[in-house]
Amino acid sequence: MPRILAVEDDANIVEAIENSFSLAEGYTLSAVSDPRKALPAALSLKPDLILLDIRLPGGDGRLLLRSLKDNAATCAIPVIFLTGLSSEGDKVLGLNLGADDYVIKPFGASELLARIQAVLRRVRPAPAGGGVLEAGRLRLNAEDRSASLEGRPLALQPKEFEILFLLASHRGRALSRRYLIENSSSYGMEVSTRSLDTHIKNLRKKLGQASRLIETVRKLGYRFSSQDA
């Protein structure tokens, strides 16, 4: 039963979210309008997903997203921005900050539910292949979506894990950006390409000296090295 937390000050939008959930069974919704209460609510409720407005009274949703991602207890909770800011620049910024999707108001009930379900499918079930994947000194557990390098835990965001799992699953094989995007994201192609490159950059930073495991394939995409780092 997915637990959803909405950080939204417009009661009409909260009602629209509830209407979306009427199209499917099992969803529970909690809502807060004050951004100062959002992090405590996330820590208490442990939601499966957060719907986050950007323009909030007394706060900016993008700053709140950073706080959620900086907190070890909430960093892995997927976040969908729900906002009236519709420019491409706003979308790119939101996705690069770590949001898992970006839904523009006004939205249809079916569309919102489909977006939520798509994100939950990516972060909750095990990726194709399942089980534990070991690639040299890197270990990925698809069941609990944990990662470690030489026994040291890696704090990966959901999309970072998904991308790394895809690459490691096809070790030595060049994967196109399109393939990585279509198998780890539901965003539009133009936005996703930029977001993908940002996630690769973050992955390399977290891998440290083992960052050379992720190779750039010119004019195509990326490859997980067949050689141990």
Instruction: List pLDDT tens digits, range 5-26.
Output: 999 999 999 999 999 998 888 8
What pLDDT, in 10s, does the model give residues 86-132? 888 888 888 888 888 999 999 999 999 999 988 887 665 444 445 78
* 189 has pLDDT over 70: no
Q: Which CATH architecture has domain 3-123?
A: 3-Layer(aba) Sandwich (3.40)
Helix axes 61-70, 88-96, angle to 10 degrees: 20
Given this model, what pLDDT does residue 93 score? 85
Report the alpha-carbon distance of residue 64 to residue 203 in Å, rounded.
22
CB 52 within 8 A of CB 61: yes
Please state which CATH number belongs to domain 132-224: 1.10.10.10
What ranges do the domains of the chain cover? 3-123, 132-224
Report the alpha-carbon distance of residue 169 to residue 185 in Å, rounded.
17
CB 61 within 8 A of CB 17: no
CB 80 within 8 A of CB 122: no
Burial bucket for residue 4 (CB in 10 Å: 0-12, 13-18, 19+): buried
Given this model, what pLDDT does residue 13 score? 95
